[in-house]
Structure 1
Amino acid sequence: MSFRDNLINARSNIVFIVALLCGLALVISLEDHMPATPHEAMQIAPTAGPVEMSAPIVAPPLARFDAVEPLPLAVTGAGRPEDLDHARIAWRYFENNTNRDTGLVNSADQYPSTTMWETGSYVLAVISADLLDLIAPEEAEARLAQAFDSLATMRLFDDILPNKAYNVQTAELVDYSNKPVERGLGWSALDIARMVGALSHAEHHYPQLAGKVASVLAHWDLDQMVEAGQLIGGNMTPDGLRRDQEGRVGYGQYAAKAMMLNGFDMVRAYRAEDHLMVQDVAGQPIPVDTRLHRNVTPAFTVSEPYVFDGLEFGFDARSHRFATAIYLAQEARWRETGQLTAVSESHLDEAPYFIYSTIWGGGAPWAVMTFRGERLDSKRTVTVKTAFAWDALFATDYTRELVRELAPLGDPDRGWPEGIYEADGTTNASFTANTNAVVLAALAFRVHGPLARAAR
């Protein structure tokens, strides 16, 4: 066969080889002229001269937490010898402050006013007391049944949702000074979401209360506080009711989890990255919301929503890293200064009666802020609830030291006070439902794990 015949017979293979070589040349040419991929753009290749960059490449805020190694959780399956004594002190608060007519509990000792947040705390306290064998299951169920009956029949703001505050003795709408108010103050979506989560925990532990839980939820129009995957609060203004988005990084994700248990779309509320910045405090990346707190002052970060998330639901991968960084910053401050540090929102035993002790707040680390956004660092409190919660979650040498230092504050006749004022070491002698509920939930967590999964 001639060379010409062989060439004709091999023409299809020759065409394929030529096309392959042309394609390879085209790819090489394109690679020389195309920008690097995002991953490659973070690497600077050696060059003969300086490279000018228009702007530094900054990792997204959420990526900062990839380097945070989550602390191991300390679910031990058994309490310490002193745990039951501590739990009995906490339960005393609820024995002293439960109203026999309504089944509701005072938010502060002998002060007959409450919110949905504190009512949620009471539910957690009852479940925890039962898990710790402080009360019989029958008492726990009876207490919750009475409270749920009140929640299912109480007058609502505009017949929509629970008012921001109620009189514990009458279950009537009140203002923040516990005075009757005809229409009400509006509703707090965060407080109600917290209560919704507590209802879910109660139904999990006491299936026989499912009907009463359903009655409460049917009484409330929860659709009114959810819009486009976000929580919406109702606030009274001189011009009438105003609807505002509620929830900042930390509280927003905690409340979103509670609502998701009841099938609500919380996709935007749960996305921390949409409004996240990172502030370095004591060598730790601290998650801070880019939006204003209550539209007044730069947002703040406290321990509260993170410890509740861990104790109630169990951390997810993101909240575990956030909580670890927030805890480690407080431990680092103690190591650097010798000052015990366990900060969160706190009641005070004197005016202005409530403050937020932050890891970052109002534009600065360790700021103490009032409700109106004023600095009040003299009232920073080493809080009992934060100490017990971090100790239950992480059980480090430092958390054990915190609990040892605060243990003498427990009053067998009244419960646990808020803590110690950092400035002078005196006791912040405000006794609250929230603090005593956290102590009980923390001690139950050590034995049983998160309330959402715990079982007798």
Structure 2
Amino acid sequence: MSFRENLIKARSHLIFLAALGCGLVTVMALEKQDVEATNIAAPPQENAALEDLSAMAAFEAIAPLPLAVTGETTAQDLAFAQIAWRYFANNTNADTGLVNSADKYPSTTMWETGSYFIAVISADLLGLIERDEAQARISLAIDTLTKMRLFDGILPNKAYNVQTGELVDYSNKPTDRGLGWSALDIARMVGALGQVKHHFPDLAPQVAGLMEIWDLDQMVNDGRLIGGNIADDKLRYDQEGRVGYEQYAAKAMMLFGYDMYRAYHTEETLMVREVEGFPVPVDNRLHRNITPAFTVSEPYVFDGLEFGFDARSHRFATAIYKAQEARFQSTGILTAVSESHLDEAPYFAYSSVWGGGAPWAVMSFKGERLDSKRTITTKTAFAWDALFGTDYTRELITNLAPLGDPERGWPEGIYEADGSTNGSVTTNTNAVVLASLAFKAYGPLIRAEP
């Protein structure tokens, strides 16, 4: 085949990679803005519902849905899992052990590296790979993490090159100092390391060695998560996390004995909005000092799949799921929303249950409305089906199942507006698919026997 023919054949991948790079540049620019500081005012309480009740009291009437642990892996589950694992087989760097954040894009974050570890643990439980391979994969990645240069010698940088392990900016170009650190990303990585210790005890010394290098005390202050951001060439400390993500990250840090009492506690920052007749937990702080914070499925399904729900998160997750099911029942529109990559500009969006002051808002990093980009997300559908196993979740899986590509993995999902495929293929989506299928057979990963 000629070079020209090969180039034409690869054009879709080239366009996506270029688009992803542009999107990451946008994120880098936004880091210059104020981000989620603690001294901001709560947004106006427009469209307030259930305001006569305390926030937590609104959820007392929610009966948590029973968990749908089946204790087995069906032939179909295994086929779905093999598609998801193909992504990691394709995108793992043999030298560093790190995995591309998106198909063929050699950059990663601590969040996505944590997702990779969860994927390996799940693949081992499902019998997709031998235990020796699973342990070797994680061991190589931890070895790389141990050797990588930290931001200011404190904590992992916000982004790294998968091929070299170098600090990079959001366009995957080397950077001398780095971008700072994300407390949420690192907490997700810490939670994954806790899972590694549980499932692969032989790797506990490597995990301990890595944790000794990271100065995690720098990202915890008075029970809150603290991120490090560069502003005018100076390091600035900012509180990170909103309701949902904040509590998930707090659980991860508590695995290693950190006092996260204020991050785990929601009452000070929780407000309630009624969506499709259900109370939905919403944070009363702004997102990036720009727009009211958003509520998405992701942190709640991660909590359930990986750690197991507590009484509060079980009720919150039930309400968030029920609102999506109710939207389908009232409109006939399949709904499974969360944050997701896009295969077209602006390349990333938060598809919320409530956000930006309204239900079902889809927002960019800047808080712009992008409702035409709402995606029926693959990871959310698989996660809700694993957790709750309802007739509606089975319908979601039936509609999304044809998207699985045995050669590449699972794409992000389906654009609601026109039914076309959101063809971005990412670490996070394929990791959640694997974790969901492992949950069906074993329950929460932290409780599954190695």
TM-score by length of 2: 0.88
Q: Is the 8 A contact 2:51 2:272 kept in 1?
A: no
Residue 277 of structure 1: SS of its match in structure 2?
strand
Gapped runs of 5+ residues in structure 2? 1-49
Paired residues of 2:386 and 2:439 also in contact (CA < 8 A): yes
Aligned position for 1:241: 235
Matched to 1:338, the amino acid is G
Gaps in structure 1 of 5+ consecutive residues: 1-55
Instruction: Check if 1:279 corresponds to 2:273.
Output: yes
SS of alignment partner, residue 341 of structure 1:
coil
Alignment match, 2:295: 301
- 1:79 to partner: Cα distance: 2.2
**TM superposition shift of 1:153:** 1.2
- Once the two structures are superposed, what CA deviation does each residue of 1:66-91 show, in whole Å capped at 9, x if it has no partner? 00000000111012330000000000
State the shift of 1:239 in Å.
Answer: 4.7
Runs of 4+ in 1 over 6 A off after TM superposition: none
Q: How far apart are the structure 2 equivalents of 1:147 and 1:57? A: 48
d(CA) in 1 for partners of 2:287, 2:390: 32
Q: Could you tell me which residue of structure 1 aligns to residue 426 of structure 2?
A: 432
How many Å apart are 1:57 and its aligned residue?
Answer: 9.3
What SS is found at the alignment partner of 1:285? strand
Amino acid across the alignment from 2:388:
F
SS of 1:99's equivalent in the other structure is coil
CA distance in 2: counterparts of 1:206 and 1:188, whole angstroms:
26
Structure 1 residues 185-224: aligned runs within 5 Å: 185-224=179-218
Find 2:286's aligned residue among 292, 301, 314: 292
| Pairs within 5 Å for 1:365-376 | 365-376=359-370
CA distance in 1 between partners of 2:92 and 2:51 (Å): 57
**Which secondary structure does the structure 1 equivalent of 2:334 belong to?**
coil
Deviations 1:265-320 (A, max 9, x none): 10000001110000000001000000011222110000000000000000000000
* AA partner of residue 416 (structure 2): E
Specify the SS of the correspondent of 2:435. Answer: helix
AA paired with 1:267? Y
| Counterpart secondary structure, 2:243 | coil
CA distance in 2, matches of 1:60, 1:311: 29
Deviation (angstroms), 1:372? 1.1
Superposition map of 1:116-265 within 5 A = 116-265=110-259
CA distance in 1, matches of 2:290, 2:118: 31
Equivalent in the alignment of 2:5: none
Within the candidate set 336, 349, 373, 1:355 is matched to 349
User: What SS class does the counterpart of residue 282 from structure 2 fall into?
Assistant: strand
CA distance in 2, matches of 1:379, 1:176: 22
Contact 1:380 1:423 in 2 (8 A): yes
Is the aligned partner of 1:387 residue 2:402? no
Q: Report the aligned-residue RMSD.
A: 1.0
Report matched runs for 1:24-173 at 5 Å. 58-173=52-167
Q: Aligned with 2:185: secondary structure?
A: helix
CA distance in 2, matches of 1:84, 1:356: 30
The share of aligned pairs that are identical, in percent, is 74
CA distance in 2, matches of 1:136, 1:404: 30
Cross-structure match for 1:399: 393
Q: Looking at CA atoms only, which structure, 1 or 2, has the larger radius of gyration? A: 1
1:153–1:219 contact (8 Å) kept in structure 2: no
Q: In structure 1, how many angstroms separate the alpha carbons of the residues matched to 2:236 and 2:286?
A: 17
TM-score when normalising by structure 1: 0.87
Task: Report Cα offsets for 1:343-391 as digits up to 9, x if no partner.
Answer: 0000011121110000000010000000111110010000000000000
User: In structure 1, the residue corresponding to 2:60 is in which secondary structure?
Assistant: helix
Q: Please tell me whether the aligned partners of residues 377 and 412 of structure 2 are also in contact (alpha carbons under 8 angstroms).
A: yes
Note if 1:331 corresponds to 2:325: yes
